[in-house]
Structure 1
């Protein structure tokens, strides 16, 4: 015979459940939150080729609606967002973040892409542009800051995996760097921190046209292992009617679709490939 449940028993159960839920809600969320499918950050699989990546191009942008609250508190420590970053320059340790956060929102509401030239910083306005120099090897790049962090250790900036690869420290995890802010006013004038006079912003570089013996291609991936390149090329042949090739460039094997007679056609194909989840292609000009 099924035993009946009295009202006090039900009430006690509800109180206990509410207490448990309250305890969960008030607990600090661990870094390995269920928001992320990967508990520990890591580099993407394969050997990502950063040789064709272009620096972020500084331009005037209004402040983002998200990510600029000041002050704000993380893990009990308070941070203040700079009102003006035009004179900001600093030396310290840079780290990088990658696959764990790939596809998730940044602090200003954009989507983090570990293959783009972006970064996280604790106090620069969002968005901002900075020139980062790896003091260990002299390499430089320009990144767009659209996220907050890093919040542990003495690290002063967290670069995307792609930016770290371009600076040559992705395998070490950290590097000694110098950060210099690049600010662009609404009238287009650009100021580099440490320089006394503003400089005119350079006009956007026109896409390089293919010359004789060259073609316009959509590059979907680049690998040090030829088998990885062949596997991706086979997947591409199932989603596009355009020619697919594996082009050997030094130690890398580049998976490319094309050639195309117009850059616009290549960009359309690039968007289609991205929509089916085969990466974030770039349009390049390479030998036929």
Structure 2
């Protein structure tokens, strides 16, 4: 079962935008040492939308090989073209991923029926699929009724809920309490409440920076240890805020560079973090003792 802190791992790049494969392997080792529960490879934080198909495959395969079955690997396989999403899912399966994360089709704004049929096609590949709902990025919101219908399809095994509507997420949790369906938060700032209510974990941006603390937060929340969960969550809230100062993964790559884990590299249309945010993020990193100066 996939649960706990699932890092949406950043893809290290050199200043010219070429993927830094050595740093990617070192990042994976960093997460294995610090108890990350699973890795999402080539997701939004991994800048999958700017990758070639060859790069996409190699990123997933590199992570799969380095992890060597120690923890589960989820691969980003979303696209707004159903045919492309199916092909990405086939590729992820071939690369060795155990799950695929497939976002609701963006820009073309399909109906609920269109999204149902889209994910049905993606699931037909045979790789277990986690549906990703993030309307603020995609312009479309898959409703709980459609998710319930999708959960009855073979190989659709979970939802990453990033609508920002905690009440609706809690409604989903209530519907699936006694069913084999993964309920994953896609929002670090509300993940604690989500898991305390019965969710299984979080696909996290913040765990790029504080993997051990996010792992511990998930454990405390899943065990219902309210005092400990709230204590960890309170400490991490400034980081969740700071990592959203500009579009993800801009702040997280800047933070990883400050930690000495990656070089200064990001692909257009994203740019390096604006100087006006450096002080805020630096202060947050120091307060969490992930950097000393």
Which TM-score applies when normalising by structure 2? 0.23
Bigger relative contact order, structure 1 or 2, given CA contacts below 8 A and separation 6+?
Answer: 2
- Structure (1 or 2) with the larger CA radius of gyration: 1
More helix by share: 2
More strand by share: 1
